[in-house]
Homo-oligomer: A and B are copies of this chain.
C-alpha cells in the first residue's frame, strides 16, 4: 500500500511538472518575441495600428507553430515508444539469449558480476511483458507517454503563448501615441517577465530571484536587438 501510494505520488508529480514545463515553454517565448517585435516596429512607424497588426499576426503564427509543434513532438514521442516496445517484444520472443546478455551487460557497467545479476535475469524470464518493461526503462531509458499528452501539451503551449503575447501588446491597443505605448509596453512587460521568471524558478526548483533576472534579461536583450535592427533597416 505504501509502495502504491509512493508510485501514485511520483506519477502525479511528473504530470504537473510536464504542464508547468509546457506553460513555461509557451509563455517564455510569448512574453519575449511579440514584445521585442512590437518594440522594434514602434521605433520606426507612426501610430500603433501597424504594431498591433504585426503583433497579433506574430502571436497567431507563433502560437500555431509552437502548439502544433508541441502536438507533433508529443505524438512522435508516443509513436517512438510504441515502435521500440514492439521491437523489444520481438527480441524477447526470438532472441532471448541476446536479451539476457544485454541485461547482464547493463549490470556489468555498474561492476555487478554475471553471478550476481543472474537471479534478476531468471526472475524476468518468468514474465516476458515485465522483461520488456524492464528493457524499455533500463536499456532505452523510455517512459510510457500519457495518451492525452499530445493534445493537452499543444493546447497549453499555444494558450500560454497567446496570454504571454497579449500583455506587451495591450498598451499599443489602448494608447494611440506610439512613443507612450512603447514606454508602457516596456514597463508592463519587464514586470511581467520578472514575475513570470520568479514563479517559473519556484515551480521548477531553481532559485526564484535568479530565474526572474534571467527571464527579464532575455526579454530585454531580444527587445533591444529587435529595436536596433529595425532602426538600422528603416
Contact = CB atoms under 8 A, between A and B. Distances in A.
A130 interface: yes
Tallying the copies of this chain within the complex gives 2
Interface string A76-120: 100110000000000000000000000001011111110111011
Interface in A21-59: 28-29, 32-33, 35-37, 40-41, 44-45, 49-50, 52-54, 56-58
A146 interface: no
Interface residues of A, number: 74
B204 A76 contact: yes
Contact of A107 (B44, B61, B120): B120
A189 B139 CA distance: 40
A166 to B, nearest CB: 13
A158 to B, nearest CB: 11
A7 interface: yes
Given A28-B65, A28-B69, A112-B120, A37 B50 contact: no
Shortest beta-carbon contacts, A-B, top 5: A36-B61, A40-B57, A116-B119, A57-B226, A32-B65
